[in-house]
Amino acid sequence: GGAGGPARGPPRGAPGAGGRAFVTDRQTKPAQVERVDREGGSAQIPRVDVRTGDRVRVRPGGRVPVDGVLERGEGDVDESVITGESLPVQRRPGDTLHAGSLNLSGERLVLSSVDVRDTSIRRVALQVQRAQSSRAPIQALADRVAGVFVKVVLLVASRKYANLQQH
């Protein structure tokens, strides 16, 4: 809402937004990453080529492409895609940064602590996908009970109808 108007529900992508609480891998991480070598030179590489031990530069307004340790730079980071917390958090060298976090200020140098295919946001997204695609045992039981219940109701109703037709 706004100015006392009716509430319109949670923003798109927020928890409670019609089962779309998690954004996709593509929305949270850049396709290209700036990898920095030991001499300070850099090159653009596909995000999928980032490996454990690579150093990547994250510019202001950019998303952290992989879980890692902040080596250089400090300032605010928006981790809401991971934690759900709407307030930015201060990060300093030595702190952990999570893939998908938004770098709000200053340039960062991040030492990748995992392979790009094993980031925390990817693991969460896979667990959510697995949970959404599986059936709970209670759901299977409810389906079986409902199937029997419908047959019993139809049988009772047809007998009642037959009895009414005879009288």
pLDDT single digits (tens) 68-122: 999 999 989 999 988 888 899 999 999 999 988 999 989 999 999 877 777 777 7
Beta strands 102-103 and 55-58 are unpaired
Does the pLDDT value for residue 22 go beyond 80? no
Q: Pick from 122, 104, 94: which is nearest to 29 by CA?
A: 122
Half-sphere exposure of 26 (CA within 13 A, CB side): 0
pLDDT class for 46, splitting at 50, 70, 90? confident
| Partners of 58 in beta bridges | 108
**Rounded to whole angstroms, how far apart are CA atoms 70 and 94?**
5
Q: Which amino acid is at 94?
A: G
- Counted residue by residue, the chain has a size of 167
pLDDT in tens, 133-147: 777 788 888 888 998
State the pTM of this model: 0.58
**Rounded to whole angstroms, how far apart are CA atoms 58 and 46?**
14
Backbone φ and ψ for 46, nearest 5 degrees, come out as -65, 140
Radius of gyration of the chain (CA): 26
